[in-house]
């Protein structure tokens, strides 16, 4: 009876209702341990070598190949696609609205800037020696190249993304201030950084200090526009600290006028520079060109094609030509336009 009861209890422990015997778990654990140690148990208990299925040599750790982050061609294609999507490049100079959808764009807006920038860039690149010495070349670059190309990028390119438009707008504002700053440095020359000579007159010293002040104001405007770009989601770049921006640019203009008055010895030329650059240009801007301006002025207009903004830039172009004439006489004793005409005439005679 005792042996029969023991056999019955053993069969009950191994019945499906109560689960397998603990001895079954132990045998399975031994087989798994044998495989994990690098071998497979054979039928007779011997250990077989592991099969190589992509693992390391001798059963070592598997070395995974690092996948490349992105193929160079794919990254280049994505960059080109972002540039393509930034603007409607097929409609350059033909769009009627800006990306901020706040102002209408006349047909000729930006073409005047592009034409002026292209002409003077070509003249400086092909005949830079006609604008010698160095301060005159510098003056031409900061007056006719940098500000006009910045305005072209804003007015001629139909930006689709608001970020690109805001960046172009900030560069346009900075280009205006950089023009005043660069013109002041062009008048003074290297004395802006190295200091004036001991025997220099008070006018040269005064002009050097005004040029240094203009450089500081330009740096302040660059910082202000950087803050405007960082906060463009809260307030438009056009309206961010607008009064402070106008104050900085106005101070740039006044300091440039002080430099011109101190170094331009022809009083008639200096009077023309001050009346046009310090009176008419800012007055016409505030009355007819600014966003909140209500006047139209007496200069010719063509609705949808030519606006007060274009008339304002025509006056600025005349002012810039007078300024280049004055600064070249100051440094070289002769107008840059006369020098250029002489070089072109000499080239024509030599070619003939």
pLDDT value for 351: 47
> Is the overall model pTM greater than 0.75, yes or no?
no
What whole-number distance in Å separates Cα of residue 316 and Cα of residue 314?
Answer: 5
**What integer pLDDT is reported at residue 29 of this predicted model?**
46
Write the CA distances from 311 to 154, 203, 315, integer angstroms.
Answer: 18, 34, 6
Can you give the pLDDT at residue 170?
94
Mean pLDDT across the stretch 274-286?
94
Give the chain's mean pLDDT: 79
More confident residue, 205 or 194: 205
From the list 218, 217, 216, 207, the residue with the least C-alpha distance to 184 is 207
Q: Take residue 219 and report the two structure tokens written for it.
A: 């740096």
By three-state DSSP, how is residue 104 classified? Answer: strand
> What pLDDT is recorded for position 89?
87
Looking up tokens 């930034």 gives: 86
For the segment 207-218, the average pLDDT, to the nearest whole number, is 94
pLDDT at 174 over 90: yes
pLDDT of res. 83: 81
Count Cα atoms within 13 angstroms, Cβ side, for 213.
18
Whether the pLDDT of residue 288 is over 50: the answer is: yes
Torsion of CA 54, 58, 59, 61, to 10 degrees: -70
Q: How far is CA 312 from CA 81, 109, 296, in A?
A: 37, 12, 11
Task: Please tell me which residue, 291 or 250, carries the higher pLDDT value.
Answer: 250
Helices 146-155 and 111-126 meet at what angle, rounded to 10?
A: 150
Distance CA 277, CA 254 (A): 10
pLDDT digits (tens, 9 = 90+) for 19-77: 455 444 444 444 444 444 444 455 445 555 555 544 555 555 555 555 555 555 566 66
C-alpha distance across the termini of the chain, in Å: 137
Q: Which residues pair with 48 in a beta bridge?
A: 40
Name beta bridge partners: 302: 306
* DSSP state letters, 222-290: HHHHHHHHHTTTTS-TTTTTHHHHHHHHHHHHHHHHHHHHHH---HHHHHHHHHIIIIIHHHHIIIIIS
70: left (phi over 0), alpha (psi -120 to 50) or beta: beta
Can you read off the two tokens belonging to residue 234? 């809260």
Tokens standing for residue 268: 């008639």
Radius of gyration (C-alpha) of the chain in whole angstroms = 39
DSSP character string of 297-333? -SS--BTTTB-HHHHHHHHHHHHHHHHHHHHHHHHHS
DSSP code of residue 133: S
Q: Which of 47, 29, 27, 31 shows the shortest CA–CA distance to 39?
A: 47
């Amino acid at each position: 009876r005792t042996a029969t009861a023991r056999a019955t209890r053993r069969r009950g422990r191994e019945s499906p209702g109560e689960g397998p015997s603990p001895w079954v778990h132990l045998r399975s654990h031994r087989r798994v341990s044998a495989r994990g140690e690098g071998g497979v148990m054979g039928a007779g208990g011997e250990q077989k070598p592991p099969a190589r299925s992509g693992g390391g040599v001798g059963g070592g750790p598997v070395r995974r190949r690092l996948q490349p982050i992105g193929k160079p061609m794919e990254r280049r294609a994505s960059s080109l696609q972002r540039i393509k999507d930034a603007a409607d490049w097929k409609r350059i100079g033909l769009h009627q609205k800006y990306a901020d959808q706040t102002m209408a764009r006349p047909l000729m807006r930006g073409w005047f800037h592009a034409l002026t920038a292209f002409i003077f860039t070509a003249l400086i690149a092909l005949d830079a020696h006609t604008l010698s010495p160095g301060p005159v070349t510098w003056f031409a670059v900061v007056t006719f190249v940098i500000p006009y190309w910045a305005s072209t990028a804003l007015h001629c390119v139909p930006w689709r993304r608001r970020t690109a438009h805001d960046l172009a707008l900030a560069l346009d504002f900075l280009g205006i201030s950089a023009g005043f700053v660069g013109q002041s440095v062009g008048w003074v020359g290297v004395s802006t950084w190295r200091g004036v000579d001991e025997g220099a007159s008070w006018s040269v010293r005064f002009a050097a200090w005004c040029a240094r002040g203009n450089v500081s104001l330009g740096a302040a405007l660059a910082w202000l526009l950087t803050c405007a770009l960082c906060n463009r989601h809260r307030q438009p770049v056009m309206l961010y600290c607008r009064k402070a921006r106008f104050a900085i640019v106005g101070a740039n203009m006044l300091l440039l006028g002080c430099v011109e008055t101190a170094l331009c010895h022809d009083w008639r030329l200096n009077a023309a520079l001050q009346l046009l650059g310090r009176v008419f240009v800012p007055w016409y801007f505030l009355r007819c060109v600014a966003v909140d301006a209500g006047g139209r002025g007496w200069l010719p207009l063509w609705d949808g094609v030519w606006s007060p903004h274009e008339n304002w830039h025509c006056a600025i172009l005349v002012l810039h030509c007078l300024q280049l004439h004055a600064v070249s006489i100051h440094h070289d004793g002769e107008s840059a336009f006369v020098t250029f005409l002489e070089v072109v005439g000499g080239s024509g005679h030599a070619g003939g």
